Amino acid sequence: MQPNSQKISTAHDHHDSMRGYLKDGEERALHLPNRGPITYNDDGSISKAILDAYWEYGFYVFKDVIGAEELQELRADVERVLDGAPRSRSDEFDRHGRPAIGSQFRRPAFSFSKPLSDPLGGTDLNHGRHPVKMAEPEPDQDAPDEFIDLLIGNLQIMDSCLRLYGHPDLLSVAAAINGDDFVPFNEVAFLKEPGLGVSVAWHQDGTTHWNSPDWDQGTHGFNFMAQIYGSTPSNGVWVVPGTHKQGRVDIKALVEQSGSERIDSAVPMVCDAGDVVISNRQLVHGSFANTSKERRVTLNMGFLPRKSVINVTNVNFAGRKQTYDEARVHQRSRMIAIGIDARQQRFPHERRYVYQPLVGEEEQNRWNEETRESVVKDYNLLDVHL
Ligand SMILES: O=C(O)CCC(=O)C(=O)O
């Protein structure tokens, strides 16, 4: 039985007490046959070995997807956005006294949390899908009361993220998993700052289709998780491999069997900077408070199978009911086409991905100041919530 981590008080104790669990998990993770570059069969389709491993384990670590130059651009954009962020959740100005980034958008671009806390575990938030509270170690005395743990709407606050969104290899994977007519879900950035990063309590994403007669292992889609500083067992997302195939998992029971929230069968996503993980949203997954000295910044980009989305009704981020009809999904999907064009302008020698649902609409979906205003601005009011 592992120590009851709920009783651990300081960040230092927490980090120390995790060592054995982190090491064992890393070893298990590195033994799984689910990491390597994105590769193709002779006919241009994604390699069968990648797809087989993804469907078997529910995740795959794609190595070296983002090159050094692009990584620098992504990091610089995150820094710029943090520099221009509101000083607190109720502030309209940044630390330089300028109007904060995001004030021009209808949805907030920043989420604030208490250092090393678990804002979701054991609450009704997110449809109550995080049933177990994680350990909340005491942050160091010089830690701020609150810090930014999430950026929301990456594609409108960071042009580098819009370009990454149009990545031909990632979009080819999206098509291989969800079909050529895949649709967008949402884009956020998880900021796991050293000594501050919050827990994301164990959960499965997805709220709408668990009891559908045609539910399957891919129904609630997947997230790409692009790592711009790498991801370690201490600061990374952990998953329970294969649980995407099991329907609703009893997370409380998993935690009880393991003797603490350190679930025995879980493994961490171990990545270098530039790697991108594809992670099935139905996997049991979560992350621990970041008591390590390493930063993780993960850019999430989610995609769904069209058949899970069209004409489905759900509540949005503000609790308002909405139906994802064809017109709405079409408008939201324009972000893929604009991302492709933005990428092509930046990397003109790279293969340009062809997004089947919007073939013939390339002219309307050029990346320029007009589409920044008319399509990209407030695009995430049309996010899909499944
Ligand atoms: O990045 C993290 O720590 C959590 C990610 C997560 O839970 C998600 O993408 O659903």
Going by DSSP bridges, is the β-strand pair 296-304/237-240 parallel, antiparallel, or unpaired? unpaired
Output the CA 214–ligand 1 centroid distance in Å: 26
Dihedral angle sign, alpha carbons of residues 345, 346, 351, 352: negative
Per-residue pLDDT, averaged over 273-291, amounts to: 98
pTM of this structure: 0.96
pLDDT of residue 8 exceeding 80: no
Q: Binning pLDDT at 50, 70 and 90, where does residue 1 land?
A: very low
pLDDT at 26: 98
Cα separation, 188 vs 110, whole angstroms: 10
Q: What pLDDT is stored for residue 6 in this prediction?
A: 53
Reported as a single tens digit per residue, the pLDDT across 331-350 is 999 999 999 999 999 999 99
Kindly state the average pLDDT of the residues 168-182. 98
The CA 323 to ligand 1 mean position distance, Å, reads: 25
Statement: residue 4 has pLDDT above 50:
no
State the pLDDT at residue 125: 84
- Rounded to whole angstroms, how far apart are CA atoms 66 and 88? 32
| Position 3 confidence tier, pLDDT thresholds 50, 70, 90 | very low
d(CA 267, CA 276): 16
Instruction: Name the percent of the chain lying above pLDDT 70.
Output: 98
Q: Across residues 130-154, what is the average pLDDT?
A: 95
Domain tally, the chain: 1
The predicted structure's pLDDT at residue 269: 98
User: For the segment 244-267, what is each residue's pLDDT rounded down to a tens digit?
Assistant: 999 999 999 999 999 999 999 999
Residue nearest to atom 7 of ligand 1 (CA): 286
Which residues lie with the beta carbon below 6 Å from any ligand 1 atom?
190, 200, 205, 223, 237, 285, 287, 298, 300
Calpha distance 272→175 (Å, rounded)? 25
- 316 band by pLDDT with thresholds 50, 70 and 90: confident
Please state the rounded mean pLDDT for residues 212-236: 97
Q: What is the pLDDT of residue 128?
A: 81
What per-residue confidence (pLDDT) applies to 122?
Answer: 86
CATH number for the domain spanning 44: value is: 2.60.120.620
Q: What is the mean pLDDT of the chain?
A: 95
Range of 282's domain? 5-382
Q: Which of 120, 300, 304 to mutate to test the pocket of ligand 1 (most atoms within 8 A of CB)?
A: 300
pLDDT for 85-132, tens place per residue? 999 999 999 999 999 999 999 999 999 999 999 999 988 888 888 989
